[in-house]
Chains A and B, each alone.
Chain A
Amino acid sequence: MPKGSNHTPPKWADRFLQWFCNDELLEQLQGDVHELFYWRLEEKGHSSAKRSFIWDVMRLFRWSNIKKKSKRQKLNNMGMIKNYFKIGMRNLWKQRMPSFINIIGLSLAVGCAIVVFKFVEYNYVKDDFHENLDDLFLVTHWEDLESNKGRNGGTDHVLSREILTAVPGIKASTRYNFQQLEARVEKRIKYNAALYVDPDFLNMFSFDLIEGNGNALNSADQIILDENSAKRLFGEQSAIDQPLELKIGEEWKAFTVGAVYKNKPNNSSIQIEILLNYSHLEQLLSKRDTWNTSFFIQRQEGIEQQQLVTAMDELLPLHNKDNDVNPYTYFELEPLATMANSADEMSNSVGAAPNFAPIITLTAIAGFMLLLSTLNYVNISLAMVMKRLKEIGVRKVIGGRRKQLIAQFLIENFLLCFAALILGLLFAHSFFLPGFNEIAGGDFRLEVFKNARLGLFLLGLLFFVTIASGLYPAIVASAYKPISILRKATQKRGNRLLSNIFLSFQMILAMVTIVAAVMFVYTNQVNQSLNWGYDQYNKLVFGIPGDEYRESYLEVIESDPNIVDYAGTASNIGQSLNGVEFINGDFKTYAELFSVGRKYPEVLGLELLEGRLFNDQLESDLNNKLIVNEAFLDRLQINFDPDGTSIVQDSITYQIIGVVANYHYLNPGQELRGAAMRAIPAEHYNSYLVSMVDGDIFEQRDQLRGDLQALVDEKTVGVSVQSMLFDGFYDEMIGIGNIMLFTATIAVLLAAMGLYGLVNINVTSQIKDFGIRKVLGASHMSLSKTILSKFKYVLLFAILIGCPVAVLLVGTLITDIQHYAPPVGAGPLTVSVGILLGVALFTLNLQINKVRRMNPSETLRAE
């Protein structure tokens, strides 16, 4: 070998050789080519030697020299990986505290992610349980409407019959029309959803029969119920062969129950309720030429969708000749699997498209959680790795490759993530899902082994979390040079900055979630005491079951000593809506038009601002007079004139006689728009509003209901409490508030754990420092200051950034859900900052106490 020569073989060729060459042969072959290179260098000069070297390497690239996976190598790997697992377990145990924090943090986030996954799955995956799923279609068509092209999920009934006879390749079909029917069982009348279908319905769709005959629909006088309907109509006794009457049109028809099916699965768009033969609808509508029906077909095997559509389109010219109002442009078959998700794209659709707002909100929350816990993890792992530098150094010196080190760290990470996943499943199963079910009213269950989608999701989540949380620390740790580790050279401080950025980010997220929770709780409180624009207390509302009861109801009302006043009405504020277009010159706007009795505004207690309310004695008030709210005037740009202000609706000119303060005819979440009341005569009343003396409103309600029920035979009388009309909305808001509280709790917990972990590692790594300072007489105060000083800027930064971000994000979110929410002001922000600081200081204090109690001799003696 020539000494002092700078010439070396070309690196890339050398690497190439290392890469492809079988490890057992590498040493001798590489040695040979290197020796030859230096020999030639002397003999023939540099460039020639280089060329020959490359040529040699190329020639060595042959089958017998190339790396092959041998059985022995695999066995070696197994041993190594087993060893990684062992070391991983030991390390997790050795660093119990940070590992525990990581596992708990991750599992909380994983639990949330699982719940959200179930929710999103429920929203998106519909109708996937049918055996014939791939062959089932809803027939839809496109039509030219006056304004635009539109898609319609309803098919002309006559056309549907023509399709059946003219289009080949249809194995089965069913029409599907929904109607609300009165059902009579032993003189009790109940309202029920009913569906007119063809007998093939139950052959096409896969629902589970409980008892009875699945072909019952073949006879027109039998019906099929689902469990819910059977229970509602017949109670606990078996419904099979029970008689039942249904009021179809004006006629009561007698049926017997032929079969009972299990309730439809949660995610089914197709309903069961009560199924009856389609011939009844045909009889009911026999006077009409045609009507629309949802028309489902099942194709024969091997028939292409396009063949069916082409054959169906051929019927259109003839059809459109007779129906020139809304001519069909062309047909399109909507597969059952995607029917619900495209429900928004068509009119007369079956099923509901997913609701994006909760999906996005919940996904964002779960994403936040995962992000928080992953950052936590990265942060703590980075700090933990610093304690293991010697292990890395030694392993590198004895020949551990960087790849192997990364693999080892990732395997440890995998163990931890796996533990977190199991714990997360437990959390989700026993706490989060039941809680979520309660709030959202769902019926979500975890079936890990039955649901392949969930299994895949979990697997994906596991790998994602493992890589996301473990890759960066592994790469950083494995990059250290063994020399600098072993001679204890000071490590770069670059990680500090990154840790602080992560921690700040966590704190900002925690801050935002706290503000969100505080705001939702606060808004709920504000809304509970919101002025509804009228006196909602001590008032009962009930409908009149039929014209014949109007007088007898009135007698009951007048004889009830608890009733102070009453008014008849056709619209109930808080329950009814009737948006119509009002015109004032050039201004047009939609506003509510309520039809009420003349005493109604007074009994309800609307606040009169200008003009007058209706006069019970003035017959002329029944003629086109309006009482409007303030918003009505604003939106139509009119000023109230006591001598007469007029407004046009449906070509009738109304005169505005009074203006009242805005009142909540909708739940307080939504913005109040214009609303007007017109008076109607007593014969149009369909319900009564009564105001009661002070007392227990529920007792009064029950008593009144009893009195009224005595008059009515067949129907159940309902009496509602006016002040409870928006309870559904309030409950929902409390539910959202609870979700926000939960989110904030978890976010704060995660941030606190992150902080705790970091401080813990920080303190432990400087424990000797603290020991010496204690020996030298440092006060507790100064020790606390040292610890605090490292984190105070992070906290300050988080608060400074978090506040404006929270105002922006939370403000947008909350006004979207609750229009009358108070602004995100100084109050809620102060409370949130207080909570965050409190938690942070508490966390820091735990460590400070540890330092205080520490005996310096213990730490200084160690090693």
Chain B
Amino acid sequence: MSKGNHIGELEELILLLVGVLRDEAYAVGVLQEMKLQTGRELNISAIHAVLNRLEEKGYVSSEMGGATQERGGRRKRFYQLTATGRQMIDQVRLVREKLYGQLNTNPIYSFA
């Protein structure tokens, strides 16, 4: 990947959602959870694309689930956060927090 190990905002969001959903992380689940938690509704095709990309980068792994009565007996593909995925989330968070900490919390300009 030309982008190296960096991930984008959407990738990060979906990676987080996969982590949050634990054993229920499949494409539609991610879509619904994202809508629930962030109000964003993405197209299912976009979610598939991102999940595939994350799998290629090694941040998630996937396997087919068992057949259920839902959706005409068609199986789901479940995603799981890998160790590198988890590391990546942590790293992104660290960078964010570090940068956030450097923001001036005591404003110079006072309205008082």
The answer to whether B70 and A1 have CB atoms under 8 Å apart is: yes
- Shortest distance in angstroms between B39's beta carbon and chain A's nearest beta carbon? 14
Give the distance to chain A from B45, nearest Cβ to Cβ, in Å: 4
Query: B27 near A56 (CB under 8 angstroms)?
Result: no
Chain B nearest CB from A315 CB (Å) reads: 75
Q: Is the interface of A mostly helix, strand, loop or mixed?
A: helix
Asked if A30 lies at the interface with its beta carbon under 8 angstroms from chain B, I say yes
CB-based nearest B residue for A57: B45
| Interfacial chain B residues near A34, Cβ < 8 Å | 71-72, 74
A32 lies within 8 A of chain B by Cβ: yes
**CB within 8 A of B27: which of A1, A28, A62?**
A28
- How many pairs of residues, A versus B, come closer than 8 Å at their CB atoms? 55
Which residues on B sit within 8 Å (CB–CB) of A33? 44
Interface mask (A21-62 → B, CB under 8 Å = 1, otherwise 0): 000000111111111101100000000000000011001101
Query: B55-95 interface mask toward A, CB cutoff 8 Å, 1 = contact, 0 = none?
Result: 00000000010000011101111000000000000000000
A31 near B45 (CB under 8 angstroms)? no
Residues from 32 to 62 in B contacting A, C-beta threshold 8 Å: 32, 43-46, 48-49, 52
Return chain B residues, CB-CB under 8 Å to A27.
Answer: 64, 74-75
Count of B interface residues, CB-CB < 8 Å: 20
Residue on A with the closest CB to B68? A31
- Tell whether, in the assembled complex, residue A56 and residue B44 are in contact, meaning their CB atoms are under 8 Å apart: yes
- Is B15's CB within 8 Å of the partner chain A? no
Q: List 5 A-B contacts (CB under 8 A).
A: A32-B28, A38-B71, A39-B32, A56-B44, A64-B49
Q: A62 contacts which chain B residues (CB < 8 A)? A: 45, 49
Write out the residue numbers on chain B whose beta carbons fall within 8 Å of the beta carbon of A36.
28, 31, 44
Q: Which residues of B have CB within 8 Å of A39?
A: 28, 32
Evaluate contact between B74 and A60: CB separation under 8 angstroms. no
Per the bound structure, the CA–CA distance linking A260 and B75 in Å amounts to: 84
Contact of A56 among B43, B64, B77 (CB under 8 A): B43
Q: Chain B: residues with CB nearer than 8 A to chain A? A: 26-28, 31-32, 43-46, 48-49, 52, 64, 70-72, 74-77
- Tally of contact residues, A, Cβ under 8 A: 20
Report the separation of the CA atoms of residues A273 and B48 in the bound assembly, to the nearest whole angstrom: 83
Indicate if the CB atoms of A35 and B70 lie closer than 8 Å: yes
Residues in B whose Cβ lies below 8 Å from that of A64: 49, 52
Interface residues, chain A, CB within 8 Å of chain B? 1, 27-36, 38-39, 55-56, 59-60, 62, 64-65
* Residues A31 and B43 in contact in the complex (CB < 8 Å), given A1-B71, A39-B32, A64-B52: no
Taking the closest CB of chain B, its distance from the CB of A185, in whole angstroms, is 93
| Alpha-carbon gap, A28 to B48, bound state (A) | 10
Q: 10 closest pairs, A vs B, by CB? A: A31-B74, A59-B45, A31-B71, A28-B77, A35-B71, A34-B71, A60-B45, A35-B28, A32-B27, A59-B43
List 15 additional A-B contacts (Cβ < 8 Å) besides A27-B75, A32-B76: A28-B26, A28-B27, A28-B76, A32-B71, A33-B44, A34-B72, A36-B44, A56-B43, A56-B44, A60-B45, A60-B48, A62-B45, A64-B49, A64-B52, A65-B48
A29 engages B71 (CB within 8 Å): no
A contact residues around B43 at 8 Å (CB): 55-56, 59
Q: What separation, in Å, do the CA atoms of A32 and B31 have in the docked complex?
A: 10
| Residues from chain A with Cβ under 8 Å of B31 in the complex | 36
Q: Which chain A residues lie closer than 8 Å to B70 at the CB level?
A: 1, 35
Tell me, rounded to whole Å, the shortest Cβ–Cβ distance linking A804 to chain B: 62
A1 to chain B minimum Cβ distance, whole angstroms, is 6
What's the minimum C-beta distance from A271 to chain B, rounded to whole angstroms?
A: 77
B contact residues around A29 at 8 Å (CB): 48
